[in-house]
Amino acid sequence: MNRSLRYTLIASTTLMLNACAGIAHDTPEARQQIQQDLKLQNIVATSIMSYCQIPLGGEAWCRATPGIGVITADRLIMVDYVNGHYRQDDVLTSKDIRCIAESDGHRFQAFTTNRSVTVFPYKEGTDANSVFREQAIALLLADGQPYLTGTAGHFVRETDRERTNVTSVNYNGTTMYLPYSTKIMEIYSPCLPESNRAD
Per-domain residue ranges of the chain: 3-153
pLDDT of residue 1: 43
- Our measurement of the distance from residue 176's CA atom to the centroid of its chain's CA atoms, rounded to an integer in Å, reads 38
Q: For the chain, 199 residues long, give each residue's pLDDT as a single digit of tens.
A: 444 444 444 444 444 444 455 678 888 899 999 999 999 999 999 999 999 999 999 998 888 888 999 999 999 999 998 888 999 999 999 999 999 998 777 889 999 999 999 999 988 777 889 999 999 999 999 999 999 998 898 999 988 888 888 888 888 888 888 887 888 899 999 997 754 444 3
Integer CA distances (angstroms), 109 to 93, 113, 161, in order: 14, 13, 24
Parallel/antiparallel/unpaired status of strands 115-122 and 45-55: antiparallel
- Our measurement of the distance from residue 119's CA atom to the centroid of its chain's CA atoms, rounded to an integer in Å, reads 3
Q: What is the Cβ-side half-sphere exposure of residue 4, based on CA atoms within 13 angstroms?
A: 0
pLDDT of residue 104: 77
Residue 35: other Cβ atoms inside 10 A:
16
Q: Identify the CATH number of the domain defined by range 3-153.
A: 2.30.29.30
